[in-house]
A = this chain, B = another copy of it.
Amino acid sequence: MALIVMKFGGTSMAGAERIHNVATRVKAAVEAGHQIAVVVSAMAGETDRLIGFTREAAASGGSAIADRKEYDVVVAAGEQITSGLLAITLQAMGIKARSWLGWQLPVQTSSAHASARIESIDTRAILAAMASGEVAVVPGFQGLDSLGRVTTLGRGGSDTSAVALAAALKAERCDIYTDVDGVYTTDPRIVPRARKLPRITYEEMLELASVGAKVLQTRSVELAMKEKVRVQVLSSFSDAPGTMVEDEDSEMERELIAGVAYDRNEAKVTLVGVPDRPGVVAAIFGPLAAAAINVDMIVQNIGTGVGAGGEGHTDVTFTVPRAQLPLSLDVLERARADIKHRDVLSDPAVAKVSVVGVGMRSHAGVAVTMFEALAARGINIQAITTSEIKISVIIAEEYVELAVRVLHTAYGLDAPETDLLEPVA
């Protein structure tokens, strides 16, 4: 018997049949003797519908942007609806349940409307109700600020709501049901022998999310790490065990590399012949930041050329989101007088491939394995960045599947042949 927070996403809540499926899972957990709080998202598509309404309303009044406080009033309705519907379904199945809206608990947040941060959750009433055997259904994504106004946490905030509630309730764990059944060593669409990981550390999960493997909202993982909430990722459409995201100091048998991730959403820019003087990096990245362009990898090669004024020159290479490449080039052109670079080269057809694993902290040679494996297939590495537990390389996009497969094999992540039909848990 444990206190467990279960969280269901929009796909799991889309319509009566799926809500019934959710209720059946909750019922099973209750009948196993657990105390259950359920955090729900709005029905898939509903939040977009409501946001569309707010845009139309603002536009009809002649404004590009809807008032944020009232935006929150509108979009919070989506989770209110699914909370009530799940409680209705549970009660119809003979399971005691009630909804607790953000303002009822309350879930106290900052006043940053549309992107509020949870400050505290008052759990007294809900704990008493749960102790009496009642399932608590809590809408994700919504809260109440100190002025008594409705707030929302921003897109994907329901994962964060679930982790915050699990922390406040001191739950045994937070089970996040989604449309994948766990975290894989890599994308099974590219590598059929990808394996589901039984466990992964918070840090690995964060690094994987940062390089394109979006299973959990990053904020929710950061919060889980800070609050030491054990998070399980599992599917609401199967009964397979999921992946436990937890602290490294749990007695888990560590693998060297947890997974291989990729991100096609990159474009590369190289500024050639940049004068090597103080302040030049700011002259490059200041205007890009001002234009809200999210620069990712930055590599600076100390050049050997000498410019007209006698200073040394260097080349600066960085990546930007592919959709922002034209804007980036435009910004750089306008900043040319300040940066004084000789030329700009760009390539929209690059991809980032990363290997992530806490094991690399204590193992030498992890990077060498990567470089050798790619070189053996003739894949040219255009840029490299590393963090404590991640190595990322930029390569030509056409090699991305090959690179992922090669690295998956090189780090010994492939499932045994015999398990091909059913991924090993």
- Name A residues whose Cβ lies closer than 8 Å to a Cβ of B: 15-17, 19-20, 23, 50, 53-54, 56-63, 66-67, 69-74, 76-78, 80-81, 83-93, 98-99, 101, 103-104, 148, 150
Contact = CB atoms under 8 A, between A and B. Distances in A.
A103 B105 CA distance: 13
B59 A16 contact: yes
B92 A16 contact: no
Q: Is the interface of A mostly helix, strand, loop or mixed?
A: helix
Sort A-B residue pairs by CB-CB distance and give the 4 closest, nearest first: A61-B92, A63-B92, A16-B56, A73-B84
A91 B85 CA distance: 32
Contact of A85 (B54, B85, B103): B54
A90 B88 CA distance: 35
A154 B89 CA distance: 21
A57 B19 contact: yes
A301 B70 CA distance: 63
B81 A66 contact: no
A116 to B, nearest CB: 16
Contact of A84 (B62, B71, B80): B71
A51 B30 CA distance: 27
A73 B53 contact: no
A54 B16 CA distance: 9
Given A89-B58, A90-B61, A92-B57, A73 B80 contact: yes
Contacts of A104: 148
A74 B80 contact: yes
Contact of A88 (B66, B93, B103): B66
Given A57-B92, A77-B81, A101-B150, 9 more contacts: A20-B60, A50-B81, A61-B91, A67-B88, A70-B84, A71-B88, A74-B84, A77-B80, A103-B103
Given A73-B80, A81-B50, A99-B70, A60 B91 contact: no
Given A16-B57, A99-B73, A93 B50 contact: no
A54 B93 contact: no
A59 B15 CA distance: 12
A74 B60 contact: no
A136 to B, nearest CB: 13
Given A62-B93, A77-B80, A103-B103, A70 B57 contact: no
A204 to B, nearest CB: 39
Contacts of A56: 15-16
A8 B116 CA distance: 32
Given A73-B83, A85-B74, A88-B66, A61 B98 contact: no
Contacts of A23: 60-61
Contacts of A98: 69-70
B87 A67 contact: yes
Nearest to A137: B70
A145 to B, nearest CB: 12
Contacts of A57: 16, 19-20, 85-86, 88-89, 92
Given A61-B91, A73-B99, A93-B61, A53 B81 contact: yes
